[in-house]
Structure 1
């Protein structure tokens, strides 16, 4: 918590003195009561002691003054609030290595299922697009708030050879730019979420893509999906297709995005949930002065009500 006017905290100094004075006065009162007379006589004169009720109004009053003093210092807290708008491009690798069965039933099946859930769970006001890539990239769904149609486009994706990670990023950036045209009044955040299992083997390099994404201020979050033991059958022989974690991590770090790894469908779902949380929310400073002032007012009312109810007087 930050304070916009911290010097007003000096008001707490006399409050501390007031509290100390109250404690001292109560101890003296207790001492005088013991000296008043023999204890049996004291019990007859005051058979019912108010106990904690005697101190409740004073405590509430001091808390009220404390809240009001803090309010004058204008405290500010970081508050998590949802984005009203954003553009998210999901880019999915459809190279043949995604047919590996190290993730059940296959990398591709698990990836499309998790991606569909991610898309459908994004805030309704978000524009979501879908890009696929193998030896080249293609736009399967332009950014739209119709999330169900984008998720449906993930069904029965065609597989092909090679992996063009850089081209997928460039195509995704073009989709983000198309949404920004004609809407200069609002700075709409954008993010590319790219899932792949392999090394870039076609098209422009991930380094070039990272430079372009940085210039466009669009972070690219990457998901390295699969295990190091993955294999796929090509022309009757088993070919190793280990996941390339380092290349994808370099792309994410170079654009200000987050790099994730997932070796199962459950882990992938957790990754998408984390990405959705980071995309859908932002942290904003909010001044809470009115809330503290209201708290002080309510505590003052409570102090007065308790004093009137139990002692027929205001504190």
Structure 2
């Protein structure tokens, strides 16, 4: 337990002081008792005066005073409490690798179907936003309770070149900041345009600083935050970051604002062929690519990622995603097929409805003090009228 105003704990000293005064008064009263020669009469006159019940009113008053002093010091405890995830940002990977057919009919179609079921299962009070990312990240639908608008945007997504996981997290933060004044927008980060391993990115990325209005401060990977935003980010990707800000850097910004990110790694470790519908290609079939004959990965690096520097960008970078989850206080999930993805999304509310927060006990202590004072008054009145 910690206290917001620990100096006010000195007020608790009044409790033992008043208890000492009460004891002194009892002793003084005994010393002034009139002596009777008839012991029977004395016993009858003082019947019940030695009972412990006569001390109940003062005990209740002293307990109430102690609770009021405690409440004044603003006590808080760190506890697991339920949170209402009133807003969920779905960040969906639409890079070309989502055309891989290791998940039938392809990763993108399976993801769209699973996300559709997830969205339709939310209650009317939950707002859902959609961020889509490939070579860049954009907010396709601002958080809304309009399911038709959201599902229409989900059905209309098309693939692009590159995978910007870090940028998707930053765009999600911005979407949350539009709704929650306690969450500051993401810091601006320069994002190179070339694909390739994020580690080889020569451009400096500024170290994110905790927001003055944000939910808390990041304590590094797994670090404690002063508060947790009720909004969450669910990030679904099948590959690795190929450009721009790294997922780890973006996660630090999310953690500084109390925003939890729940990454979902989708797809197998052995992707087979690539095939998307004309709509999923955005109406433009990649050159040398037949929609019926899938071919290999070699010429598809520009659309789906390919491999570079020893990293196969068609396979989930679990190390990076687990780090994102640990840094932000979320949890990482893996789904290798369509059924697994639907199950992960179905179980997600069980994991996000509880979070660790600082709970202020001042109000509870004040209410309990009022109850004790009322009880003390009732007991005193009953003794006076009995």
The TM-score bracket by the shorter chain reads: 0.5 to 0.7
Deviations along 1:86-112, one digit per CA (max 9) or x if unpaired, are 7835224570347526xxxx9536642
Pick closer, same or farther for the CA change 1:237–1:12 going to 2, 3 Å. Answer: same
What secondary structure is seen at the aligned counterpart in 2 of 1:165?
coil
Q: How many Å apart are 1:246 and its aligned residue?
A: 1.7
Match of 2:115 among 104, 112, 131: 112
Q: How many Å apart are 1:295 and its aligned residue?
A: 4.2
Correspondence for 1:301: 374
Match of 1:195 among 236, 254, 257: 236
Match of 2:162 among 161, 164, 176: 164
Q: How many Å apart are 1:61 and its aligned residue?
A: 1.9
Deviations along 1:102-157, one digit per CA (max 9) or x if unpaired, are xxxx9536642464258x45955x57233154xx5675833142441354237656
Deviations along 1:170-225, one digit per CA (max 9) or x if unpaired, are 36746866897xx8x9454566532123335xxx4265565577679786835233
What secondary structure is seen at the aligned counterpart in 2 of 1:164?
coil
1:277 & 1:262 partners in 2: Cα distance? 21
Superposition CA RMSD, Å: 5.6
Correspondence for 2:290: none
Q: How many Å apart are 1:68 and its aligned residue?
A: 3.0
Correspondence for 2:318: 245
1:15 & 1:228 partners in 2: Cα distance? 66
Matched, 1:205 2:277: no
Equivalent runs, 1:225-236 vs 2, <5 Å: 225-226=265-266
Deviations along 1:250-287, one digit per CA (max 9) or x if unpaired, are 55668x57451234333333335534766xxx957758
1:179 & 1:25 partners in 2: Cα distance? 62
Contact 1:220–1:257 (CA under 8 A) maintained in structure 2: yes
Correspondence for 1:91: 92
TM-score by length of 2: 0.50
Contact 1:221–1:259 (CA under 8 A) maintained in structure 2: yes
Q: How many Å apart are 1:13 and its aligned residue?
A: 3.8
Contact 2:63–2:372 (CA under 8 A) maintained in structure 1: yes
Correspondence for 1:33: none
Give unmatched runs, 5+ long, in structure 2.
30-35, 186-231, 275-292, 298-313
1:99 & 1:260 partners in 2: Cα distance? 21
Match of 1:223 among 263, 285, 292: 263
Correspondence for 1:6: 6
TM-score by length of 1: 0.59
Matched, 1:63 2:63: yes
Q: How many Å apart are 1:311 and its aligned residue?
A: 3.9
What secondary structure is seen at the aligned counterpart in 1 of 2:332?
strand
Q: How many Å apart are 1:309 and its aligned residue?
A: 0.7
Question: Could you say which structure has the higher helix fraction?
Answer: 1
Pick closer, same or farther for the CA change 1:294–1:109 going to 2, 3 Å. Answer: closer
Pick closer, same or farther for the CA change 1:85–1:74 going to 2, 3 Å. Answer: same
1:121 & 1:83 partners in 2: Cα distance? 12
Contact 2:61–2:376 (CA under 8 A) maintained in structure 1: yes
Contact 1:163–1:198 (CA under 8 A) maintained in structure 2: no
Q: How many Å apart are 1:306 and its aligned residue?
A: 0.8
Contact 2:139–2:171 (CA under 8 A) maintained in structure 1: no
1:158 & 1:208 partners in 2: Cα distance? 24
